[in-house]
A and B are shown apart, each in its own frame.
Chain A
Amino acid sequence: QQKVQQSPESLSVPEGGMASLNCTSSDRNFQYFWWYRQHSGEGPKALMSIFSDGDKKEGRFTAHLNKASLHVSLHIRDSQPSDSALYFCASMNYNQGKLIFGQGTKLSIKP
């Protein structure tokens, strides 16, 4: 069964610092990735998708995908207190349309 593993479980970063989150898919059929962010009391909201090898940058957020290892990372530069949230990685099987999520990384930004 497809699994998505995220690390670390939790992360504390000083304000203005860089946060790095990791994610690995266990199934080569699930090689398209999304990053989602969830604030307390809300549903998850998409940050960005990455479907091709290499880097994709959107503002302060940069995702990196290595399809050979099915590993994706998310880097947040100049972290802000509002970035404190639960971050989910999700991998997708494009043929089936299924979107499978990891267990999440809790990010805390310390002022």
Chain B
Amino acid sequence: DAGVTQTPRHEVAEKGQTIILKCEPVSGHNDLFWYRQTKIQGLELLSYFRSKSLMEDGGAFKDRFKAEMLNSSFSTLKIQPTEPKDSAVYLCASSLGVGTEVFFGKGTRLTVV
């Protein structure tokens, strides 16, 4: 079975650009998460979908960050417009449901210059 697949692995964007990160969850998983990882903050939850319904839209991240689940096997995270402080690793994860193990992708490292 394939794990969580994220593309691209690395992205360099200029300030003000729009970028779209992609994620394919583990086949059959119902829950999908987007996290941002930085050394200072650790892992911050951006969005959480349960059976394609948005359960958590990330509070402080709402204004420039938008996650979507186009279907049960594909999700995107759009950042518009990008700012240098958005430089981080963005992780996508999926699970069968509440209380079950969450599987992570390898992440997309975003650098905004």
Interface residues in chain A, defined as those with a beta carbon under 8 Å from any beta carbon in chain B? 1, 6, 32, 34, 41-46, 49, 51, 88, 90, 92, 94, 96-104
Contacts and interface: CB of A to CB of B under 8 A. Distances in A.
Which of the listed residues B42, B59, B107 has the most CB atoms from chain A within 10 Å of its own CB? Answer: B42
Interface of B: 4, 31, 33, 35, 40-45, 48, 50, 55-56, 59, 91, 93, 97-99, 101-107
Given A44-B43, A104-B42, A96 B55 contact: yes
A96 B45 CA distance: 13
Contacts of A49: 99, 101
Most chain B CB inside 10 Å of its own CB: which residue of A1, A49, A99: A99
Contact of A92 (B35, B59, B93, B99): B99
B45 A98 contact: yes
A46 B102 contact: yes
